[in-house]
Amino acid sequence: RKEVEQDPGPFNVPEGATVAFNCTYSNSASQSFFWYRQDCRKEPKLLMSVYSSGNEDGRFTAQLNRASQYISLLIRDSKLSDSATYLCVARKAAGNKLTFGGGTRVLVKP
Amino acid sequence: GAVVSQHPSRVICKSGTSVKIECRSLDFQATTMFWYRQFPKQSLMLMATSNEGSKATYEQGVEKDKFLINHASLTLSTLTVTSAHPEDSSFYICSARTLAGSDEQFFGPGTRLTVL
């Protein structure tokens, strides 16, 4: 079983719609969580950290459920430029290595 | 923001040759650099953690004699794929962690290696 698992998608989303997807992690020692965005053939870029109380950054909202060991990302008012692969990332302790999920592909269409 | 560069961005080589990839932190000092590999439609897999001035720590299943890592300065780490074979063809990405402040990792743009 992979340590961080994601639905690979693709999620086909009409422009302006809302899309949400989850990520599950198996290692209960994971302490920090992040969402990265990766465009085709490019490096991943940090989208947002995920805090225990949930956090929002513009149209993006991240939630963490430690009891069920999952993280979610919600994108509101989807833009064409939101089309990308979203990588869920877990880290066990500060300074420790990042463990990436396989990514969820999102395609926003006009 | 912090910038990490990689060189070359793309390389095509014959089977059996060695390829060196450079990872540089351009505007900050990085005590730790990480090397990842990503096969098509798969996630990033950490290969090794490189600390300046010491030997790299390799992940399970990664051959240290095949993937040579050198981190000679606070701004440069190199990965050498020795005797490359077609199955080594992949997207190699490095990341660097700043010396102080945020614990965020900054990723390089990646190097696409194709071994014929």
pLDDT of amino acid B102? 61
Tell me how far apart the terminal alpha carbons of chain B are, to the nearest angstrom. 37
CB contact under 8 A, A41 and B110: yes
* pLDDT at residue B45, rounded to an integer: 94
Contact at CB, A87 and B109, closer than 8 angstroms: no
Residue of A46, A92, A97 lying closest to A73 (CA atoms): A46
Residue numbers of chain A with a pLDDT score lower than 70: 94-95
8-state DSSP, B91: E
CB contact under 8 A, B103 and A94: yes
The whole-number pLDDT of residue A96 equals 75
The verdict on B105 touching A (C-beta cutoff 8 Å) is yes
Q: For residue A99, give Cα distances in angstroms to A9, A41, B22.
A: 20, 19, 23
Window 16-75 of B: residues touching A by CB (8 A cutoff) are 32, 34, 41-46, 49
Cα gap B11→B104, rounded to integer Å = 28
Set of chain A residues whose Cβ sits within 8 Å of the Cβ of B97: 95
B52 is written with which tokens? 């300046």
Question: CB burial class (10 A; 0-12, 13-18, 19+) of residue B100?
Answer: exposed
> Which of B43, B57, B102 to mutate to test binding with chain A, by most A CBs within 10 Å of its CB?
B43
Give pLDDT, residue A1. 74
Q: What residue ranges of chain B have pLDDT lower than 50?
A: none
Q: What is the DSSP letter of A3?
A: S
- Rounding to the nearest 10 degrees, give the CA dihedral for residues A75, A8, A71, A66: 170
- From chain B, pick out residues whose CB is under 8 angstroms from the CB of A100: 43-45
Distance from CA of residue B79 to its chain's centroid? 5
pLDDT at B101: 53
Residue A31: which residues within 8 A CB-CB, separation 6 or more?
A91, A92, A93, A94
